[in-house]
Each structure stands twice: as C-alpha cells, then as structure tokens.
Amino acid sequence: MGKKEGTLYNLQKGIIILSVIILVVVLLLGLVAEVDRFIRIIWGVEKGVVWENQNLSGYLKKEVKSLIYYYSKDHVVYPVDATIDPKSGKILSEINGEIIDITANLESIFNAKENTELESIKYKINPYLYRQDLEKITKVIGIYKTIITGRKERRENIRVAAEFINNQIVLAGDTFSFNEVVGPRTKKRGFKEAPEIINGELSLGIGGGICQVSSTLFNALEAEQLEIIERHTHSRDISYVPAGKDATVAWEYLDFKFKNNFTKPIIVKSQILGNQLIIKILGSSELN
C-alpha cells in the first residue's frame, strides 16, 4: 500500500471512529434524557399540577423545594404592632403577618392529583402588641406638671419636644431614650434658638429649653418599676423643678433614659395646657 493510499485509509478510519463516538454520545444523551423522563414520571409532581400559577409537572422534590423557598422570600408579610397615632392619639389596630409554609406546601404539591390547581399554604405571624393591649393602658401611674416661662422660642421648643414624646409606647423590658425619641435639635425639625445652660452659663442654642420636658418626664416616673438608666443634672440650679430633680439632655452627649420593668407596656402622655407642661405615665389597668 502506497503512502497516498495509507493516508486515505487512516482518514477514513478516523472518520469512522469519530462517527461511532458521536453515535455513542447521542445514544447516551438520549438514554440519559429517557432516564430523567422516567425518574420524573415516577418521583416527580403529577402532570398538570399548578401551584401559584406555575405548572410543576414532573418537578422533582429538590426543585420544588427551591422554588417554594425563593417564592416565600418574596411573599413575606411582616406583622405590624398596634400603635398610637402621634397626632390624633387614636389607637391604630395591629396587622397580622404571614409566611409561606415550605414543608406544608411541599407535601401538598406532591400529594396533589393530576390537573390540580393549588394556592400556597401560609401560616400566620402574630404581632407582639394588639389593639386590646393598648386599650387597657388607662391607669395613671405617674404625673408631673411644670410651669413654662421665657421667650416664645423657648416655649416653642418645649412644645415641639413635648409633641415628640407624646403617645410614646414603651414595651415591657424596653428602654426609653429621650434623645432617640426627640431626635436632633435642628431648625428643619421645628426647633428654635433659645437660651440653654452650658458649663453653668446661659447661651443661645438650637432647642434651648427642652430640658424642661426631660426634667418633667423624670419627675413623672413615680413607679419603682420605671428604672432610671441615665440622668444628668444641670451645671446650675433651674427654676421649674426642685434642686436635684432635673434631667438635662444634649444631643449625642447627654441623654435621659429609663427602663420599663413592668410586665406590660406603658404610654407617655404629654400635653401643654396654658402655661403648664403636663406629663402622665399610663399603665395597664391590670397592674396592681
């Protein structure tokens, strides 16, 4: 056999081998596909089963579980506690939450017969605080009044701060932070420039006068279950509360905090009547 004939022979041989390999691969792929189809018929979801508008015919368990998991992440409804409208003082009802039950849905899908349409099974997530809980908070467990004096800017600062703390709910075991509730003292948030005490001297500052609100609140905390966590006195005596009974505050520097050690929530009520600042602490009627 000549060189030319040998080369042609080897080429033909290579083509035949390649063809055989391709044929084997095609057969194997077909076999794999057929095996997969068989597995899905035996162990997959029944034909025509639809869950949340998605046809799951032939889906295997791990595929269904993954689908439910990602669907549930996008369809969580978080519960909302009952609360009080800060402006009107009206109680706003709670909203129940819900989450997709992965195990129950998985079971439901694989137990379903052919051509069944299913909706997701959810379980309820209860809020912590219900409307009826707030409706029971009517008992005055502390009250204090102070006289508002000074220029109109100072009076306005007291009004704004008093409005921020009004109707604040402090849950059992939670800590109330005056600075956290009232927030930064800025003109944009309604505070004015008024006299305030710094290092024993009077100077002008945004929010001057709001220490009267924190001090009045401190004196309203009569119940021993309302534990003072943080309190600072002024660097000089002030006129609206007795000496040593004040609670000065400064944004990001000095705070007034107390903890609710009752087993029930309390509500801080703050109002201005004429030239009086009145702060009440309301507790549950179930408290002794």
> Average pLDDT per run of 10 along the chain, which is 288 residues long?
52 54 49 59 86 91 93 95 92 96 95 93 95 95 96 96 97 97 96 82 84 97 93 89 94 95 96 97 85
Look up tokens 């998605």; give the residue. 54
* Cα dihedral across residues 103, 106, 111, 117: positive or negative: positive
Task: Report H helices in the chain.
Answer: 3-43, 61-74, 102-111, 131-135, 152-165, 178-182, 211-220
E strand residue ranges, 90-167 = 91-92, 97-100, 117-118, 122-125, 137-147
Strand 193-198 relative to strand 97-100, pairing: unpaired
Nearest CA to 166 out of 183, 181, 177, 145 is that of 181
Do the Cβ atoms of 67 and 54 come closer than 8 Å? Answer: yes
E strand residue ranges, the chain = 50-51, 54-55, 83-84, 91-92, 97-100, 117-118, 122-125, 137-147, 168-170, 175-177, 193-198, 201-206, 226-230, 257-260, 266-273, 276-284
Which phi and psi (to 5°) does residue 157 adopt? Answer: -60, -40
Burial of 74 (0-12, 13-18, 19+ CB in 10 A): exposed
Q: What is the pTM of this model?
A: 0.77
**Amino acid symbol at 10:** N
